Structure 1
Amino acid sequence: MTTITLLGTGLLGAAIGQRLLDVGCTLNVWNRNPTRCAGLVQAGAQQLNLPGEGLDSSSVVITVLRDGPVTAEIIGSLGPLAGRCIVPMGTMGISESVSLAEQVSLQGGSYLEAPVLGSRPEALKGSLLVMAGGEQDVFEAQFPLLRQLASEPRLMGAVGTGAASKLALNQLIASLTHGYSLALRLVQASGLDVDRFMEVLRPSALYAPTVDKKLERMMSHHYGDPNFSTSLLRKDLKLFLREARLAGVDASALDGLASLLERATGTDLDVGDYSALHELTDGR
């Protein structure tokens, strides 16, 4: 049975861990807040006091941490990584992932970025979308593991291409949600029935399934029990803007959206589902 070390057991990390246990993997888990490992430990995982404790028995280290700098810090604390593959599945910048790959190489390990699209429900079902970046042979070696988390793991290209795919998709999440919120606000202000509007939108080429997923939340103003929070959406949008500028892409039109999301900082909206940005588009 494969032994895996999982560093980071937040909403997504815990779901990935549960999925790995369900398919028969032996799992070591660590989180800065040890209480966040409780569910996985109860399900059969071994809790680590320090992130490097499980390396002797693990050939793969999956990280699902908040960002690139935190991931680099934790991986750096592991020491020598000979014979081990580091697989970061959280969102980070392109430049951050390239730098981390170099760091892992210096520590003697191999590296495969594998950010995912999807959240807790998809992770538990093994239906995440995995966008890997790295060497072909490393991807092939980790394919059986990734196949337990995604129906069709994809190698996008070299290190950085997986991170680019993830940032591009998360930017679309932010832009689509914002655009739909604005449309909904104007529709309601005009007195048009929302259901009538949706009857036109759904069969059109403009429709995206996420619209219906978020419509009920926006209409009821209920943003609790999130799979992806407003604060994380803001973080990832800022990361996209930074990487876009490094790549020479003019993404200045998104600066207003980033500023809008800043208004959620420190409020209940920040810890709610990202569709809570709908509350921010109320200009009254």
Structure 2
Amino acid sequence: MRIALLGTGILGHSIAERLLHTYDSLYVYNRSRSKAEDLLSLGATLCNTPAEAIAAADALFLVLTDAKTTKTVLASAEEKTLFEKKTFFQLGTISPMEAEELNAYITQKGGVFIELPVLGSKNEAKNGSLLLMFGANEEQYHKWHDFLSSLGKVFFVAEPKKAAVLKLALNQLIISSMVGFSLSFAMVIKENIDPKLFMNILRASALYCSTYDKKLPRLVKKDYELANFTLDLLLKDLKLCLEETERLSIESAPLEISRTIIEQALKRGYGQKDYSALFEAIFSPKP
């Protein structure tokens, strides 16, 4: 089976590394070619256009910034026959409506669309411990389960729309947990309480989340470089969550507050930094 991957950002690049570790070859396309050139040494074949990658593969991973970018990239491969009998795995975080639109677009061209959002970032992708939400029918799930298991644990969700919503629900927890931890940690620091004491109590409680320990060194050192997930992308996902809460008639006030905090951090230049940089807007709010 020939495999291609479109989009070598933080997550896409790491998935490409994992695929090249597991399989002999991989066709890769990225709009900025320089961000994918290091994969050549691992055995990847770089494609100059999306059409070239699509033509070369039977199964394709779409790991692009958003649905608009994904549509643009796919639309550049104009020949309908390029899509026939090919399977497209959509891994980016998009809205349920966008998932349905991409499903219709690819299906109309003779391809198979599988909404496959993942939980985890570059480290989980590299070591094959992503959590994958499989949004397609049971027949497709059984067909692709073993293949996808090289990337992590695969959960059957059934519908593209539901897989997209599930991913947004989980990403909302990323937002709320980071905002909540940042607020508590700021209180501890400003009152000159020993952070180790705080963390020891937190770890021993039902309140604990492993993300807190993962982000703690960044907050202590104020080091937000080498992002696993940027603040810009977190805001993009938050906006998708807001759209979904409106569609489902769910109270969105907590998300609106988080949006204000994140936008304050963005104004300070943290957009391309790790999303834990939102701590700066909480610790030192500007009037």
Q: Given that residues 95 and 243 in structure 1 are in contact (C-alpha distance below 8 angstroms), is that contact kept between their aligned partners in structure 2?
A: no
3-state SS of paired residue (2:57): coil
Distance across 2 between alignment mates of 1:248 and 1:60: 37
Question: Residue deviations 1:28-70, cap 9 Å, x none?
Answer: 1111111111111221111111101133331111110001111
Match of 1:147 in 2: 149
What number of residue pairs does the alignment pair up?
Answer: 282
1:48-67 counterparts in 2 under 5 A? 48-67=47-66
Q: Does the C-alpha gap of structure 1 residues 266 and 40 become closer, same or farther in structure 2, counting only changes over 3 Å?
A: farther
Match of 1:129 in 2: 131
Q: Does the C-alpha gap of structure 1 residues 249 and 70 become closer, same or farther in structure 2, counting only changes over 3 Å?
A: same
3-state SS of paired residue (1:160): helix
Report the Cα offset of residue 140 of structure 1.
1.9
Report the Cα offset of residue 256 of structure 1.
1.6
Match of 2:204 in 1: 203
Match of 1:70 in 2: 69
Which of residues 71, 92, 95 is equivalent to 1:93?
95
Report the Cα offset of residue 132 of structure 1.
1.3
Distance across 1 between alignment mates of 2:178 and 2:168: 15
Q: Given that residues 27 and 56 in structure 2 are in contact (C-alpha distance below 8 angstroms), is that contact kept between their aligned partners in structure 1?
A: no
Distance across 1 between alignment mates of 2:43 and 2:190: 53
Report the Cα offset of residue 275 of structure 1.
0.5
Q: Given that residues 99 and 115 in structure 2 are in contact (C-alpha distance below 8 angstroms), is that contact kept between their aligned partners in structure 1?
A: yes
Q: Does the C-alpha gap of structure 1 residues 247 and 213 become closer, same or farther in structure 2, counting only changes over 3 Å?
A: same
Report the Cα offset of residue 266 of structure 1.
5.6
Distance across 2 between alignment mates of 1:19 and 1:77: 27
Match of 1:10 in 2: 9
Distance across 2 between alignment mates of 1:244 and 1:256: 14
Deviates more, 1:239-248 or 1:219-228: 239-248
Report the Cα offset of residue 240 of structure 1.
0.8
Distance across 2 between alignment mates of 1:264 and 1:187: 20
Structure 2 length as normaliser, TM-score? 0.94
Report the Cα offset of residue 180 of structure 1.
0.6
Question: Residue deviations 1:60-93, cap 9 Å, x none?
Answer: 1111000111112222333321100110111111
Which of residues 96, 117, 120 is equivalent to 1:118?
120
3-state SS of paired residue (1:226): coil
Match of 2:173 in 1: 172
Match of 1:28 in 2: 27
Distance across 2 between alignment mates of 1:54 and 1:214: 37
RMSD: 1.4
Q: Does the C-alpha gap of structure 1 residues 29 and 162 become closer, same or farther in structure 2, counting only changes over 3 Å?
A: same
Q: Given that residues 112 and 159 in structure 1 are in contact (C-alpha distance below 8 angstroms), is that contact kept between their aligned partners in structure 2?
A: yes
Match of 1:41 in 2: 40
Distance across 2 between alignment mates of 1:166 and 1:39: 30
Unaligned runs of 5+ in 2: none
Q: Given that residues 112 and 139 in structure 1 are in contact (C-alpha distance below 8 angstroms), is that contact kept between their aligned partners in structure 2?
A: no
Deviates more, 1:176-185 or 1:72-81: 72-81
The question of 1:248 aligning with 2:249 is answered yes
Report the Cα offset of residue 173 of structure 1.
0.6
Report the Cα offset of residue 25 of structure 1.
4.0
3-state SS of paired residue (1:237): helix
Amino acid aligned to 1:109 = G
Unaligned runs of 5+ in 1: none
